[in-house]
Chain A
Amino acid sequence: MYDNILLATLLIPLLGAVLIMWMPASRHQLIKYTAAAGTGISLALSLLVALAYDKDVGGMQFVLTIPWIKDLGVNFALGVDGISIPMLLLTTLIGFSAVYASWKIVDRAKEFFVLLLILIAGVMGTFITTDLFIFLLFYEVVVIPIYLLVIMFGSTKRVTKEYAGMKLTIYLLIGSAFLLAGVIALFIKAQAVSGTASMDMAFLGSLDYPIGFQVWVFAFMAFGFGTLLSMFPFHAWSPDGYAGAPTAVSMIHAGVLKKIGGYGLIRIALTILPEGAQVIAPIIAVLAIGNIVYAALICLSQKDLKYIVGYSSVSHMGYVLIGIAALNIVSLNGAVVMMFAHGVMAALFFAMIGNLYEKSHTRNIDDFGGLAHQMPRLTAGFMIAGLASLGLPGMVNFVGEFTIFVGAFASFKAITVLAISGIVFTALYILKSLGTMLFGPRNENWDHLQDVKGVEMIPLLVLGIAIFTGGFFPFILMDFINGGVGEIVQHIGALRIGGMM
């Protein structure tokens, strides 16, 4: 009965978008409910997928294969395993919250929600397809809705929204140009090696490529995916982009879209080109230190909330990169958990910032003070996100960071120690800025601000629950991820197997 469940999860948001296209622009309430229903059903379906996934059997499940382009060996193939499920959940959780975080949008609501739903479906597609061509298709589909959303609904503060949107788009596209070159070269090589044209990820992964080829193709892919994951020094789009983007786009971009980079590195680059990975991994680990320490130091001097979270997300992606670069089962587990954890955390952060900005029209932390008096629920949201961000035990982020460090220490001693020092900086800037903003004496200027209430609570509740559930019951996530990563590591074979969590 679950044969088409993934297809349904993917198509329902798109169906919502099509429905909205036919609605009159003035019925924005109807439009919002349609968008909420689309993402809500999709969320429910993805939860169902997670529940129905048989962990004992493992591997790709709910597989659906439709022949697509014969001469390229492309199938429209869907399927999920232990790594895709957390990512799918992340997408639907954030997608659903993002709709509610945009509830205040009235002007051009029709365009907004059509583009948002296309964006959500595009991101989801990358996580649930098992065909490389279809992956690329979804991967690039998302770029254009984002650009349009940023220029139409973004905000101009330190940089103009046009600048932010274009920077975001061009960075990611240039990255994807190299990714594409790598993938096409891989496809041609696989055809030469095996005699069959195929874009099936599992098939491509089962072949043996010469080491020199693996190294440069992996480097190309690492550049492409790394740009998306805001790997140092290709991270500059990230803070500006988030600052210019409207709330929902920041949430989706920082929350899930970036994670396509990490997911692609593990699922595609690492699985298909393991020997290339071993050569390039140390370089990635060194760059990751750039992410963690450099971005954290920048955060210390930022005053704009969106820039703080933007740079902090660059910094956190450093942990993910180290987890991937360490190439053992524990560190990879950690990297996947961290992607999920950072996703919900960043989305919650941006939802709260968006909410506050909508009411106060400023994002400068020095303008605020003692907000806890006027807005206790908003403060709670900020604190959950902030504490998750610095990796407090009880939050899912702690699980991710801890696992990464345990795993990475086996591979890179000095680098891991440096990376751990990043936690100190994180704690410093998070506590400093949240302290200035939320606590202290009451600031009369902000008495008119209304606390978060009604539908605005939904992002806070949904994402908050995800953070705590993951933190207190890490095995829920870990069981999936361990299964998925285990298979990949087993498949690669040659890699060291570290101790289990």
Chain B
Amino acid sequence: MDFSLINLEIMTAVLGLGVLVLGLTLPDKLNKLISSVAFWGILLILVYSIVILPGQTEVFNGIYHIDLYGRFFKILFLAAAVLVMMMSRRYTEKIPRQSEFYGLVILAAVGMMLMASAAEFITLYIGLELMTISFYILTAYLLKDKLSGEAGLKYLILGALSSAILLFGVSLIYAMSGTVSFTGIGMALGNQPAITAGLVIILAGFAFKISVVPFHMWTPDVYQGAPVPITAYLSVASKAAGIAALIRFLLTAVGPGELALDLNLLLAIMAGLTILVGNLIALVQKDVKRLLAYSSIAQAGYLMVGLTAANDYGLKGVLFYAMVYVFANVGAFAVTTAVETNTGGTALESFGGLSKRSPMMAAIMTICMLSLAGIPPMAGFAGKFYLFAGAIQSGYLWLAIIGLVMSMVSVYYYLTVAKVMYIGTSSCDTPLLVSRGAATALWICVLATVLIGCYPGPLAEFAGLAIKSIM
């Protein structure tokens, strides 16, 4: 057994635990060092994950797959973690127990990395729980803030419920097939009602994590209550982790055509509903954090479109879109964080006159949100092109039309924010105070969004290779 194959996971876990230990052992005045250790550590791991060239192997008797697909998502999680840490520097200055904050962010990343590579339900479940339990704590991190506590509790109850549902589904499948490994399940799948029920219940469990309608109810409250950097992390990384695990499960275990129910149609209906509900409710939001929460529900719907299509373009689109979604959404949340730390709120009015106070911030917010809406030359456009091309190729023209029309409708609420920033007024004229880390994160987000949008070739190729490695 060659443990160097899972170097990435080992390093990240060691870093996460190390940060926790440092927090306990270092004297208080050196506490500031912790955020630096965490940040530089995770950055190095990100660089390592980009430069290493692991082969295509299975470890631990096939329950853990090392492949390009897993690597793609690991890069995504690490990049998200890096960006989130950069933007939370100033934010965490106010809160105690920094080591726990950073430690949990890293441990959540470890959980997601496990999810992306797990090829069997027990490992997947461990990864999932590691991720969600870290998030329960992070969501409720602002102990003195009532909303944050409420969000944490809500997330805990509903998250535990959904984990239970997932486990129930797995147990049904296990009862019928006698195995929890994806390939084993794939061989045993048949037309029995229990299998169908198990699949649907598993799907529901995942749908909760990805916040797909009708399992999305927790999202707005949790996103609004959680500390903004955590909301950003939750919305991009935990969603991507759920999608990553779901794709691997569906592709490995569920072959086409043998099931009693049309799983793809079910996915298509869920995707369509998610897009509709997310976008339509976002139209009337008055708080930017909440608006972004609903928009992130809609984004989950777009990702589901690619999953429904289940062909080359669609799945490539999911990977591509998940990656560009990281930059666009973290960018938008980073601006929101800056606004919150400066004005004390995230209501629409707090963004008033932002273009006069900090023209770059306003421009970045606009660009990131337009990428979410899929307006070229931002990266979201190419992503949606792949997703909907996949949907149309698989015959889901109606789904593509819903998606495209609702993307355009979503421009309305994104532009409402732009409107406030550009012609709204503010009592204060000084530029927003932003830490250097947050400013760098913003620039990375906006540059990635525009550059990938103008020249999507390389990322599309990488996504294509990644998806091929498990097809």
A residues neighboring B (CB under 8 Å):
67-72, 111, 133, 136-138, 140-141, 143-144, 147-148, 151-152, 162, 166, 169-170, 173-174, 176-178, 180-181, 184-185, 187-188
Contacts and interface: CB of A to CB of B under 8 A. Distances in A.
Nearest to A154: B423
B47 interface: no
Contacts of B392: 181, 184-185, 188
B421 to A, nearest CB: 10
Interface string B442-471: 000000000000011100110010000000
Given A136-B376, A141-B376, A141-B377, A185 B412 contact: no
Interface in B355-403: 355, 359, 366, 370, 375-377, 381-382, 385-386, 388-389, 392-393, 397, 400-401
27 contacts: A68-B455, A68-B457, A69-B382, A70-B457, A70-B461, A71-B460, A133-B385, A137-B376, A137-B377, A140-B375, A141-B377, A144-B370, A151-B423, A162-B419, A166-B415, A169-B415, A177-B401, A178-B401, A178-B404, A180-B385, A180-B388, A181-B397, A181-B400, A184-B389, A184-B392, A184-B400, A185-B392
Given A141-B377, A148-B418, A177 B404 contact: yes
Contacts of A173: 408, 411
Interface string B134-154: 000000000000000000000
Interface in B402-447: 404-405, 407-409, 411-412, 415, 418-419, 422-423
B401 A170 contact: no
Interface of B: 316, 355, 359, 366, 370, 375-377, 381-382, 385-386, 388-389, 392-393, 397, 400-401, 404-405, 407-409, 411-412, 415, 418-419, 422-423, 455-457, 460-461, 464
A148 B365 CA distance: 14
A151 B419 contact: yes
A188 B389 contact: yes
A180 B408 CA distance: 11
Contacts of B460: 69-72
A228 B250 CA distance: 42
Contacts of A141: 375-377
A151 B400 contact: no
Contacts of B407: 177
A67 B455 CA distance: 10
B464 to A, nearest CB: 6
A72 B382 CA distance: 10
Nearest to B410: A173
B167 to A, nearest CB: 39
Given A70-B457, A141-B376, 9 more contacts: A71-B464, A140-B375, A144-B370, A147-B415, A148-B366, A152-B422, A178-B405, A180-B385, A184-B392
Contacts of A169: 411, 415
Given A68-B457, A71-B460, A152-B422, A188 B411 contact: no
B411 A137 contact: no
B10 to A, nearest CB: 35
B415 A72 contact: no
Contact of B456 (A69, A152, A185): A69
Contacts of B411: 169-170, 173
A170 B422 contact: no
A72 B422 contact: no
A176 B389 contact: no
B94 to A, nearest CB: 34
Nearest to B398: A181
Contacts of B359: 111
Contact of B405 (A111, A137, A148, A177): A177
- Nearest 5 A-B pairs (CB), nearest first? A173-B408, A177-B404, A137-B376, A177-B405, A177-B408
Contact of B393 (A69, A170, A176, A188): A188
Nearest to B400: A181
A133 B411 CA distance: 21
B303 to A, nearest CB: 17
A68 B355 CA distance: 34
Nearest to A216: B397
B385 A140 contact: no
A71 B412 contact: no
A170 B408 contact: yes
Which among A72, A133, A144, A169 has the highest number of chain B CB atoms within 10 Å?
A: A144
Contacts of B366: 144, 148
Contacts of B385: 72, 133, 180, 184
Given A68-B455, A136-B376, A137-B381, A187 B389 contact: yes
A229 B461 CA distance: 37
A181 B401 contact: yes
A92 to B, nearest CB: 21
Given A68-B455, A71-B460, A181 B408 contact: no
Given A72-B385, A169-B411, A144 B375 contact: yes
B404 A181 contact: yes
Contacts of A138: 376
A143 B388 contact: no
B88 to A, nearest CB: 29
B381 A152 contact: no
Contacts of B382: 69
Nearest to B418: A148
A67 B405 CA distance: 30
B234 to A, nearest CB: 28
Contacts of A140: 375-376, 381
B422 A151 contact: yes
B446 to A, nearest CB: 13
Contacts of B455: 68
Nearest to A148: B422
B284 to A, nearest CB: 15
Nearest to B393: A188
A138 B388 CA distance: 19
Nearest to A173: B408
A83 B109 CA distance: 55
Nearest to A183: B385
Contacts of B386: 72
A11 B283 CA distance: 36
A181 B418 CA distance: 27
B401 A152 contact: no
A145 to B, nearest CB: 11
B389 A143 contact: no
Contact of B408 (A151, A174, A184): A174
A141 B418 CA distance: 16
Which of B366, B385, B393, B405 has the most chain A CB within a 10 Å cutoff? B385
Contacts of B412: 166, 170
A73 B425 CA distance: 46
A174 B409 CA distance: 7
Contacts of A133: 385
A162 B455 CA distance: 33
Given A140-B376, A169-B415, A184-B385, A71 B461 contact: yes
B305 to A, nearest CB: 12
Nearest to A189: B392
Contacts of A176: 408
Q: Which of A67, A141, A148, A166 has the most CB of B within 10 A?
A: A148
A136 B461 CA distance: 21
In the complex, which of the residues A111, A140, A187 has the most CB atoms of chain B within 10 Å of its own CB atom?
Answer: A140
Given A166-B415, A169-B415, A185-B392, A180 B376 contact: no
